[in-house]
């Protein structure tokens, strides 16, 4: 059956499945217990891809399967709901989840609890969709209107239910981005800023959670919207910088640091830029090179050679080959002249006039960039940390 | 520990060292990686480039648990089905979710193989190939006492006895030499210490040059018995303890290697792209010892068919090649080769000429090598001592990490692996229990676990890391610069280095052998999912479709696809006599040790050319084409069940040529010589001429031939003696029989066979049982040939292993279950499901009994009466189910029919999918 599935022969697989169902009454207990899960796994896959299956067939199958393996009820319900969601049947999915939520069997084990929480969270998410839809409608309505009041009333009801559904799950360690996002949005809408902040802080800083960069991003965006003081923002981004030094928010972090008057922040700014450019995915990021060139010039003008030396020491044995090789000089010049100029300036400052990248670029003749080139050569002459 | 360098540099130091080596490359045009995929990389704006390092806005919900692996209480929330990944949580704005496009693409995504299986690209090498020991050789062949859970028992006794038998001189000679001084060979006959003194002379005379056991005619004299009793405290113990220990060790080692041979992790086949987009070189080892590195130029047609040019270039190495890695960094093609104790680096020029840069000696044994995608010529080498070294031709070797212990928990395997990450100074270090990210510039010992073999990734019990791979590419435009692939024997994980421990994607691949090879390929067309090719050691290939750019979550687009393996291409070869057939089959089933994919220049339909290297040194190739037309979901594929491709005459002709070359190589089995007994020159023992000598001789011949010495033969000694031929072996009975049949002497042959069968009294019981079983099967399958009914005496040894444990197992359990079901165990559950599945549209052309799956219908018995019974039975079945309380039918009769049916079904199922004894690595 698996082979048929892997060869995309859905009809054949359906045939095999038909005969596999016998396993359900197998004498072997272990086999019999494992069977519902296999049947569900493979059966749902067949039905998902089978050219002739429909949503109705899937629904019947899922309903039957739920009652066969008692232990699998919640899992199947959840996936069934997702399937419905996928087919755009939000209400059916919601009903399904509601059923699952009220289902109980035997002792409540911890895994069941987690699953129920998850079911509730998904339900909450669905409610959130309806809520945000209503919000959209509301924004189109006139405030004086009678309809506005009723609509906002129902929205309130909704959100209260939803938040209850969502908040249980996000206490459990995990990656709950969509849930947290919607939960915070709702809390924020009703003015519970402290609650929202608490949720986000918890999500970002709790040790039990995996170090999810998004958690910090959400917190930062929230604080930014709140117009929190710069120090606060910097401290949030500092942690993000520790986790993901290549994140796109690093540029914002850098700008924040530049605005700060503190010297150490300036130094950190330089470090951030070097850090971003360390990554292979960022080597052709012109913003980073531009910032770096400017910052280097200013730092050197401010007689802070030691900062650069310190950062450069760990990089000087591989940056030349990584960034400033002859190959890159050629291809950068060919594809993006401005990038090449910025890089050449940095190369000239860090490696001196003799460096291949700088030599190659400065030898090129270009009408439009002539002025820029001249300026570049001058500043290299003036600032280069390598004394000839 | 990575040892000293010894540098037979073949290029001048200036060329290899420093930056001086780059200008030549840079002058000769742009990076050819970008020329290969102009559509993907050509016109990217800066904004798009910046986005490559973006992190998805919101990730899939995942539960995060910490703890050891195999926690049963943890619900495995996600990752249950492949389609689950196709489901995207709708965006926050509901209107978006409503007009979301249903992923039509994912349902019709299919790489269509152009031939039913891969076929050989190059003629077979001149060296004969020996498949080596099989599991069958090592396992205990006795009765299975624990039928429910057949346990693997290594048969040390048999190996030991074989060793003593084959290498008696090694086993006993040293001992004999030691004792020689204290041995009085000429015992004085007058001494009367009968109980304690054994005359060696007499003893040796008794032995007379023949072996005591293994032969039913063995004769033990009193003297021998006494000697063995007397000598056993000394002789027995010393031999068995000394030998047994080493043998056990060796056996365990062999067995482990049989289960998982991790030497070829990463693969020993590489595709080095050339100057022109469709020309490249395949680099692979050849020769019996795989110690010659070959460079074969290959041209790809736009359809993906490779054409071989000229004879390959050779480089002779001093050890077997285990891994070949290639990368093109900044326009420079580099080739790194790992052998057991050496690593070497070559630079491949634009013209395809390799020039050696450096050789490195690894004293403790290298387990992995990888080339940096960022800095040209940088390598990470890891050794089984747990050390990881960064190595550049300019700066030499630098140890960056050392930990003899495994990362997460203790695991005996010395396998280590290292690869690069998005940051050129940060490496991943992996072993069987996890993968760690280490900063080579930071203080030693610090690091961050990227993958933990535990509850974080909801690993199963016994799950171990088999392969880790950095999926980023050497150009900055690479789509997923932070992704890492981690393969275990059960699942594949895609990890993002920015979010350690939480897998971005997990897929249970269910490959029957260890996935030691993987290739992440560029998207065939912009917007298409990227194929991820997994290769199992047993030759199975699986293709996953990974979609999601840096701003969205990674997921599987469409169901994974399995590609034909080498054993599927048996049909391309002409029919053969059984012996050659077996040889061909063995050759085709040789483990895969290399996998490489070349992408032909883009045409309207994207194509892939998949190359595989087998342990026998053959390269097989297969071409895949993307099914371009996304058909609407309602319209079923008309031919989805029938294999659409067939062998083209060109390919079959090629295959038969290949086969001819293969069969020309004479497969000489190692010549076995009977142990010689050198007592004769010690003693004045003069063997009697005449009958006794011929007996000894014929015994030796029989031993050489591995056959029994029959009394009949002894009587006719002078006439029937034949020189031992290399072909003679037990498996040759069939050809013998055929020969007899040709000569019209079949009846005589049969008589002889029966005579032979009745002679040996010690035929194992197991044999009898199998005979019964096979009797059942053959009677069921209709062609009751009287030669099949009694299995040939030697066949048990050559039954494929996988079928053996199943045969006694499955039918019994199913039989009983059927019995239970008929005795009235309520079947509503099963009934509802079955009815429901029956509604599913099966194949249209299945006539009449739609309740039966096609496989069953096709394998129905040819005997009409039996078929009729089954029809009747199936017709009655629903009746019976409607009245679950009473049993109107004769239970015994139905039971027997059903049980035979299930029996007959078992081999079919087990043939396609060995379910009961999966070749899981025995952790």
d(CA A332, CA A326): 10
How far apart are the C-alpha atoms of B898 and B895, rounded to whole Å?
Answer: 5
Cβ of A179 within 8 Å of Cβ of B61? The answer is: yes
Per DSSP, what are the bridge partners of residue B371? B379
Among chain B residues, CA nearest to A88: B98
Please work out, in degrees rounded to the nearest 5, the angle formed at the alpha carbon of residue B280 by the alpha carbons of B279 and B282: 145
Indicate the residue of A28, A118, A327 with minimum beta-carbon distance to B330. A327
Which member of B478, B820, B834 has the closest CB to residue A18? Answer: B834
Contacts of B813 in chain A (CB under 8 A): 26-28
Does the beta-carbon distance from A210 to B456 stay under 8 Å? yes
Predicted ipTM of the assembly:
0.86
Closest to A71 measured CA to CA, from A27, A26, A40, A93: A40
Q: Do B77 and A177 touch (CB under 8 A)?
A: no
Instruction: Give the per-residue pLDDT at B556.
Output: 78
Neighbour order of strands in the sheet with B292-300: B270-273, B279-286, B292-300, B306-316
| Best A18, A20, A331 residue to mutate vs chain B (most B CBs within 10 Å) | A18
Task: Say how far apart CA B525 and CA A103 lie, in whole Å.
Answer: 47
Distance (Å) from the alpha carbon of A327 to chain B's nearest alpha carbon: 5
Of B283, B281, B272, B278, which Cα lies nearest the Cα of B301? B278
- Report the phi/psi class of residue B539: left, alpha or beta, with left for phi > 0 and alpha for psi in -120 to 50: left
Say if the Cβ atoms of A325 and B476 lie within 8 Å.
Answer: no
**Quick check: A111 and B59 CB within 8 A?**
no
Helix, strand, or coil here: A17?
helix
DSSP string over A54-87: -HHHHHHHHHHHHHHSGGGHHHHHHHHHHHHHHT
Q: Among all residues of chain A, which has the CA nearest to that of B853? A: A15
SS3 A171: coil
Q: What are phi and psi for residue B527, nearest 5 degrees?
A: 95, -10
| pLDDT tens digits, one per residue of B853-905 | 333 333 333 334 444 433 444 333 333 333 333 333 333 333 333 333 333 33
Considering only the beta carbons, identify the residue of A64, A109, A176 that sits closest to B61: A176
Q: What is the DSSP secondary structure assignment for residue B622, as one 8-state letter?
A: E
Mutate to test the interface with B, among A73, A280, A289, A322 (most CBs of B within 10 A): A280
- Say what the pLDDT of residue B142 is: 58
**CB atoms B107 and A5 under 8 Å:** no
Most A CBs within 10 Å, among B19, B20, B58, B65, to test the A interface: B58
Determine the residue among A8, A239, A324 to mutate to test chain B binding: the one whose Cβ has the most chain B Cβ atoms within 10 Å. Answer: A8
Report phi then psi at A351, rounded to 5: -115, -10
C-beta atoms of B423 and A280 within 8 A? yes
Q: According to the 3-state scheme, what is the secondary structure of B199-238?
A: CHHHHHHHHCCCCCCCCCCCCCCHHHHHHHHHHHHHHHHH
Backbone φ/ψ region at B43: left (φ over 0), alpha (ψ -120 to 50), beta: beta
Of the pLDDT bands very low, low, confident and very high (cuts 50, 70, 90), residue A225 is confident
DSSP A157: H
* Chain A residues with CB-CB distance to B23 below 8 A: 326
Chains A, B: CB contacts under 8 A, how many?
Answer: 304
Q: Could A79 and B93 be called an inter-chain contact, meaning their C-beta atoms sit closer than 8 Å?
A: no
Given CA atoms B241, B244, B247, B251 in this order, what sign does their dihedral have? negative
Q: Is the pLDDT of residue A110 over 90?
A: no
Half-sphere exposure of B555 (CA within 13 A, CB side): 23
CB contact under 8 A, B472 and A110: no
Alpha-carbon distance of A88 to A82, in angstroms, equals: 10
Residue among B456, B465, B474 at smallest CA distance from B522: B474
Q: Looking at the partner chain, which of B52, B64, B499 has a beta carbon nearest the beta carbon of A173? A: B64
The torsion region of residue B18 among left (phi > 0), alpha (psi -120 to 50) and beta comes to: left
- Chain A residue numbers touching B501 (CB-CB < 8 A): 210
B732: how many CB neighbours lie within 10 A of its CB? 15
Identify the CA nearest to B80 among candidates A21, A74, A120, A18.
A74
Contact A321 B86 (CB under 8 A): no
- pLDDT score of B437: 92
Joined together, the tokens standing for residue B577 give 């006599």
- B198/chain A closest Cα distance in angstroms: 59
Cβ contacts of B482 on chain A, cutoff 8 Å: 281
| A chain contacts of residue B93, beta-carbon cutoff 8 Å | 132, 136
Minimum-distance CB partner of A283 among B476, B640, B855: B476
Of B330, B482, B633, which has the smallest distance from its Cβ to A328's Cβ? Answer: B330
* Residue B208 backbone class (left: φ over 0; alpha: ψ -120 to 50; beta: rest): left
Question: For the segment A234-282, what is each residue's pLDDT rounded down to a tens digit?
Answer: 888 888 888 888 888 888 888 888 888 888 888 888 888 888 888 887 8
* Lowest mean pLDDT across A63-72, A195-204, B107-116: A63-72
pLDDT value at position B546? Answer: 84
Query: Which among B25, B813, B830 is the nearest to A24, CB-wise?
Result: B830
Contact flag B73-A217 (C-beta cutoff 8 Å): no
Residues of A in contact with B102 (CB under 8 A): 87
SS (H, E, C) B559-603: CCEEECCHHHHHHHCCCCCHHHHHHHHHHHCCCEEEEEEECCCCC
Helices (H), A141-262: 146-169, 177-189, 193-205, 213-225, 230-243, 249-259
Cβ contacts of A61 on chain B, cutoff 8 Å: 836
Residue of A281, A329, A330, A335 best to disrupt the B interface, most CBs of B under 10 A: A281
Non-local (6+) Cβ contacts of A244 within 8 A are: A213, B55, B498
Q: Which residues pair with B482 in a beta bridge?
A: none
Indicate the residue of A88, A318, A326 with minimum beta-carbon distance to B424: A318
**Chain A residues close to B500, C-beta within 8 Å:** 210-211
Angle A142-A146-A152 (CA atoms, 0-180°, nearest 5)?
75
Nearest residue in A to B26, CA atom: A327
CA quadruple B885, B888, B893, B898: dihedral, nearest 10: -50
CB contact under 8 A, B82 and A45: yes
* Helices A326-335 & A356-363 angle (0-180, nearest 10): 30
> Chain B partners of A360 at a C-beta cutoff of 8 Å?
none
Reduce the DSSP state of residue B458 to 3 states and report it.
Answer: coil
Q: Which of B671, B741, B680, B660 is nearest to B706 (CA)?
A: B671
Average pLDDT over residues A102-112: 62
CA distance A209 to B59: 14
Please tell me whether the overall predicted TM-score, pTM, comes out greater than 0.80 for this model. no
Q: Which residues of A touch B565 (CB under 8 A)?
A: none
Q: Which residues of A touch B910 (CB under 8 A)?
A: none
Q: Indicate yes or no: CB of B375 within 8 angstroms of CB of A110.
A: no
CB contact under 8 Å between A114 and B83, yes or no, is no
In this predicted structure, what is the pLDDT of residue B810? 34
Cβ neighbours of A2 in B, within 8 Å: 510, 913
Mean pLDDT by 10 residues, chain B (923 residues): 32 30 28 31 36 69 69 48 47 34 54 86 81 74 54 72 74 70 56 59 62 52 72 67 81 83 89 84 88 89 82 87 90 90 89 86 89 89 90 85 88 90 90 90 82 83 89 72 89 87 83 89 81 89 82 76 86 85 88 90 80 90 76 40 68 88 70 47 48 72 72 51 43 70 72 61 41 35 34 37 34 37 43 50 41 37 39 38 37 37 36 38 35
Q: Do B640 and A214 touch (CB under 8 A)?
A: no
The verdict on a CB contact (< 8 Å) between A320 and B19 is yes
CA distance B165 to B160: 8
């Amino acid at each position: 059956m698996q082979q048929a599935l892997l060869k995309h022969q859905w009809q054949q697989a359906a045939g095999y499945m038909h005969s596999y169902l016998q396993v359900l009454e197998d004498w072997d207990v272990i086999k019999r217990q494992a069977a519902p899960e296999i049947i569900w796994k493979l059966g749902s896959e067949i039905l998902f891809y089978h050219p002739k299956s429909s949503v109705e067939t899937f629904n019947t199958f899922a309903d039957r399967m739920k009652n066969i393996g008692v232990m699998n009820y919640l899992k199947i319900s959840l996936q069934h709901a997702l399937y419905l969601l996928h087919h755009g049947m939000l209400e059916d999915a919601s009903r399904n989840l509601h059923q699952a939520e009220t289902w109980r069997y035997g002792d409540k084990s911890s895994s069941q609890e987690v699953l129920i929480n998850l079911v509730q969270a998904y339900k909450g998410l669905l409610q959130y969709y309806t809520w945000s839809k209503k919000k959209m409608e509301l924004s189109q309505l006139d405030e004086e209107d009678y309809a506005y009041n009723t609509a906002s009333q129902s929205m309130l009801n909704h959100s209260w239910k939803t938040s209850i559904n969502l908040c249980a799950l996000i206490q459990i360690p995990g990656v709950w981005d969509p849930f947290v996002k919607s939960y915070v949005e709702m809390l924020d809408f009703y003015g519970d800023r402290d609650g929202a902040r608490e949720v986000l802080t918890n999500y970002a800083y709790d040790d039990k959670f995996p170090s999810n960069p998004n958690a910090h991003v959400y917190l930062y965006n929230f604080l930014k919207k709140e117009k929190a003081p710069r120090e606060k923002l910097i401290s949030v981004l500092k942690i993000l910088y520790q986790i993901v030094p290549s994140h796109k928010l690093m540029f914002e972090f850098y700008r924040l640091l530049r605005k700060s008057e503190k010297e150490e922040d300036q130094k950190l700014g330089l470090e951030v830029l070097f850090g971003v450019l360390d990554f292979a995915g960022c080597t052709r990021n012109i913003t980073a090179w531009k910032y770096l060139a400017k910052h280097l010039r200013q730092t050197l003008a401010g007689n802070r050679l030691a900062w650069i030396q310190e950062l450069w020491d760990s990089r000087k044995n591989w940056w030349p080959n990584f960034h400033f090789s002859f190959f890159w000089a050629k291809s950068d010049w060919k594809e993006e002249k401005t990038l090449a100029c910025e890089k050449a300036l940095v190369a000239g400052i860090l490696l001196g006039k003799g460096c291949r990248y700088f030599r190659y670029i400065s030898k090129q003749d270009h009408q439009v960039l002539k002025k820029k080139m001249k300026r570049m050569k001058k500043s290299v002459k003036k600032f280069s940390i390598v004394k000839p | 520990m990575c040892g000293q360098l010894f540098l037979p540099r073949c290029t001048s130091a200036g060329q290899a060292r420093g930056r001086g080596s780059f200008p030549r490359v840079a002058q000769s045009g742009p990076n050819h990686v970008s020329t290969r995929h102009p559509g993907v990389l050509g016109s990217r704006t800066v904004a798009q480039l910046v986005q490559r390092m973006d992190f998805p806005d919101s990730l899939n919900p995942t539960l995060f648990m910490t703890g050891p692996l195999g926690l049963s209480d943890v619900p495995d929330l996600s990752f249950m089905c492949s389609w689950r990944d196709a489901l995207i949580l709708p965006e926050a704005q509901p209107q978006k979710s409503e007009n979301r496009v249903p992923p039509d693409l994912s349902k019709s995504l299919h790489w269509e193989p152009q031939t039913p299986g891969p076929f050989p690209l190059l003629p077979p090498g001149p060296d004969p190939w020996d498949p080596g020991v099989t599991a069958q050789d090592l396992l205990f062949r006795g009765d299975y006492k624990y039928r429910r859970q057949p346990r693997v028992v290594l048969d040390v006794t048999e190996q030991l006895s074989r060793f003593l038998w084959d290498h008696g001189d090694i086993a006993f000679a040293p001992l004999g030499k030691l004792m020689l001084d204290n041995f009085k060979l000429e015992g004085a006959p007058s001494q009367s210490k009968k109980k304690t003194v054994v005359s060696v002379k007499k003893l040796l005379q008794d032995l007379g040059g023949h072996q005591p056991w293994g032969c039913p005619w063995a004769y033990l004299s009193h003297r021998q018995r006494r000697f063995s009793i007397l000598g056993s405290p000394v002789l027995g113990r010393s031999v068995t303890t000394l030998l047994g220990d080493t043998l056990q060790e060796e056996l365990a080692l062999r067995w482990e290697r049989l289960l998982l041979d991790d030497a070829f992790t990463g693969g020993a086949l590489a595709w080095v792209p050339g100057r022109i987009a469709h020309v490249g070189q395949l680099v692979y080892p050849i020769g019996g010892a795989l110690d010659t590195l070959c460079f074969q130029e290959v041209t790809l047609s736009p359809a993906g068919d490779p054409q071989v040019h000229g004879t390959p270039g050779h480089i002779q190495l001093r050890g077997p090649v285990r891994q070949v890695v290639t990368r093109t960094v900044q326009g420079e093609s580099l080739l790194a080769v790992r052998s057991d104790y050496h690593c070497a680096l070559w630079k491949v020029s634009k013209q395809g000429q390799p020039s050696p840069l450096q050789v490195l000696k690894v004293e403790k044994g290298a387990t992995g090598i990888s080339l940096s995608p960022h800095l040209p010529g940088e390598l990470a080498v890891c050794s089984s001592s747990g050390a990881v070294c960064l190595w550049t031709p300019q700066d030499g070797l630098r140890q960056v990490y050392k930990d003899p212990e495994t990362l997460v928990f203790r695991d005996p395997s010395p396998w280590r692996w290292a690869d690069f990450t998005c940051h050129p100074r940060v490496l991943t270090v992996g072993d069987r229990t996890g993968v760690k990210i280490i900063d080579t510039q930071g203080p030693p010992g610090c690091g961050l676990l990227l993958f933990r073999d535990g509850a974080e990734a909801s690993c199963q019990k016994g799950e171990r890391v088999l392969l880790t791979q950095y999926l980023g590419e050497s150009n900055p435009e690479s789509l997923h610069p932070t992704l890492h692939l981690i393969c275990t024997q059960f699942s594949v994980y895609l990890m993002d280095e920015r979010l350690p421990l939480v897998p971005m994607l997990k897929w249970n691949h269910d490959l029957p052998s260890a996935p030691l090879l993987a290739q992440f390929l560029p998207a065939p067309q912009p917007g298409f999912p990227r194929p991820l090719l997994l290769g199992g050691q047993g030759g199975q290939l699986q293709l996953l479709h990974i979609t999601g750019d840096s701003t969205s979550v990674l997921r599987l687009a469409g169901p994974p696809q399995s590609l034909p393996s080498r054993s599927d291409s048996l049909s391309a070869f002409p029919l053969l006599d059984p012996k050659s057939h077996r040889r061909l089959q063995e050759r085709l089933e040789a483990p895969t040790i290399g996998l490489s994919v070349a992408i032909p220049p883009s045409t309207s339909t994207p194509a892939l050319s998949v190359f595989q290297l087998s342990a026998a040194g053959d390269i097989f190739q297969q071409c895949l084409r993307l099914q371009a037309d996304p058909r609407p979901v309602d319209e079923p594929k008309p031919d989805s069940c029938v294999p659409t491709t067939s062998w083209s005459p060109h390919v079959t002709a090629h295959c038969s040529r290949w086969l001819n070359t293969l069969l020309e190589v004479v497969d000489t089995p190692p010549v076995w010589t009977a142990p010689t007994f050198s007592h004769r020159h010690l003693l004045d023992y003069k063997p009697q001429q005449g009958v006794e000598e011929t007996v000894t001789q014929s015994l030796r011949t029989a031993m050489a031939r591995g056959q029994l010495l029959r009394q009949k033969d002894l009587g006719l000694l002078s006439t029937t003696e034949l020189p031992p031929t290399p072909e003679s072996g037990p498996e040759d009975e069939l050809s013998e029989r055929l020969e007899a049949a040709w000569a019209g002497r079949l009846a005589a042959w049969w008589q002889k066979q029966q005579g032979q069968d009745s002679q040996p009294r010690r035929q194992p019981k197991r044999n009898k049982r199998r005979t019964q079983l096979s009797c059942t099967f053959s009677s069921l399958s209709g062609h009751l040939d009287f030669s099949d009914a009694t299995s040939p005496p030697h066949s048990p040894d050559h039954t494929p292993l996988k079928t053996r444990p199943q045969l006694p197992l499955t039918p019994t359990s199913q039989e009983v279950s059927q019995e239970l079901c008929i005795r009235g165990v309520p079947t509503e559950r099963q009934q509802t499901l079955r009815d429901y599945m029956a509604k599913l549209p099966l194949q249209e052309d299945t006539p009449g009994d739609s309740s039966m799956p096609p496989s069953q219908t096709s394998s129905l018995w040819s005997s009409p009466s039996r078929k009729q019974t089954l029809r009747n039975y199936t017709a009655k079945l629903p009746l019976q189910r409607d009245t679950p309380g009473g049993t109107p039918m004769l239970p015994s009769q139905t039971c027997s029919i059903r049980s035979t049916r299930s029996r007959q079904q078992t081999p079919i199922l087990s043939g396609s999918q060995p379910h009961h004894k999966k070749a899981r690595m025995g952790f």
